[in-house]
Structure 1
């Protein structure tokens, strides 16, 4: 099986606060909703949903043995 990783030049520093907020939200919501394993990011077109999701993924993937990002 081949694995394709999207090339990245460097982290998106402008998203530092948003990524940390998202990480905090996920950790807090896990204690309230331990059975939930999926999260959705919603907003108007062009608001940065995909960019936030990609950045969060790239920053967190090192904590796991395996990871994948499905872009739709």
Structure 2
């Protein structure tokens, strides 16, 4: 009998289960990466806010010093 004409039967359940497990694992990794990215963004935003506040404070101090100058 010609091998190419032999029917191939496969139990798809193990493959479907493996694909499901791989999908679940990939989803978990994607969620973990997303959580990490969100945390990094929050840290970056806090750092930028702190820098902005520092700039505001320095500008206010400069303005105060300019207003209290003892120059004639």
- The structure with more helix, counted as a fraction of residues: 2
TM bucket by the smaller chain? under 0.3
Greater relative contact order: 1 or 2 (C-alpha under 8 angstroms, separation 6 or more)? Answer: 1
Rg larger in structure = 2
TM-score (norm 2): 0.28
